[in-house]
Amino acid sequence: MRSAIVLQHTPTEGPDRAGELAIEQGLTLDVRHVYRGDPVPADLAGDEILIVMGGPMGVSDAGDPRFPYLAAELALLERLIAHDRPVLGICLGSQLLARAAGARVYPAARREVGWAPVRFFGIEREPSLRGLRAEEMLLHWHGDTFDLPAGAVHLAATPICPNQAFQIRNRAFGLQFHCELRADTVAAWVRDDADYVLGANGPGGGERILADTQRFMPDAAQAGDRLLRNIFATFGPAD
């Protein structure tokens, strides 16, 4: 049976809907809690895909002894890009994917935390975007951004971070925004990451995110499921 290897960087940033939809597609989940020492694979087998999740550390932390797995992930991603293997990177995962493809990763002009519209490009032609609207309200939770990797297809943007989603070759996708989260996970992030939210959005920022989650999550969940299903379909059958 095909397997989805998930690289998880913190206890609270698991695959959520990405994992559930992978199972829906007939994949088994192999979640690697790399922050507690689970190994990063050196390569993928022909029946495996890779999902790289988010986390508060950054690409610039590769080489920091606190995060020994980041360098291994970059090496793995470079190998997978070269061989057009199936990869989905979300938030930090997208930044690692961009860096592995040779792009610059750096602090954004300001943190993007909370709900904001994402503009998609090529919904009429890109298989990964089929069924999405030109603009979808989605959740953001990051302070870094990246340049578009050379040769990548630009899939989405926001005013703060013009490079929100991209595709490299046929089967590597980076998503800066969070389309995989359930509402209960958003609430946990607001609680556990209160200082980060305060620094990004000021007093009352957490309460606004929770209110916006009630307002936007029903449509966002449909859009996110559509996007993730499209990406998994793009991965195709096992090699």
Which range of residues forms the domain containing residue 161?
Answer: 3-235
Say what the pLDDT of residue 237 is: 80
Question: What number is the average pLDDT over the span 117-123?
Answer: 98
Q: How far apart are CA 80 and CA 102, in angstroms?
A: 13
Say what the pLDDT of residue 141 is: 98
55: left (phi over 0), alpha (psi -120 to 50) or beta: left
Does residue 122 register a pLDDT over 90? yes
pTM of the predicted protein model: 0.97
Question: What number is the average pLDDT over the span 43-55?
Answer: 96
Question: What number is the average pLDDT over the span 93-120?
Answer: 97
Q: How far apart are CA 6 and CA 26, in angstroms?
A: 15
As a whole-number percent, the residues of the chain with pLDDT over 70 amount to: 100
Say what the pLDDT of residue 178 is: 98
Say what the pLDDT of residue 236 is: 83
**What are the residue numbers of the active site?**
91, 178, 180
pLDDT band for position 186 (cuts 50, 70, 90): very high
Does residue 131 register a pLDDT over 80? yes
Does residue 27 register a pLDDT over 90? yes
> What CATH number should be reported for the domain holding residue 56?
3.40.50.880
Q: Which residues contact 78 (CB under 8 A, 6 or more apart)?
A: 100
Question: What number is the average pLDDT over the span 170-181?
Answer: 98
As a whole-number percent, the residues of the chain with pLDDT over 90 amount to: 98
Give the pair of three-digit tokens for residue 57: 């550390």
Q: Kindly report the average pLDDT of the chain as a whole number.
A: 97
Does residue 238 register a pLDDT over 80? no
| Beta sheet of 135-146, edge-to-edge order | 28-33, 3-8, 48-52, 87-90, 172-175, 165-168, 153-157, 105-120, 135-146
Say what the pLDDT of residue 239 is: 75
Count of structural domains, the chain: 1
Question: What number is the average pLDDT over the span 97-108?
Answer: 98
Question: What number is the average pLDDT over the span 113-126?
Answer: 97
Burial (0-12, 13-18, 19+ Cβ within 10 Å), 85: buried
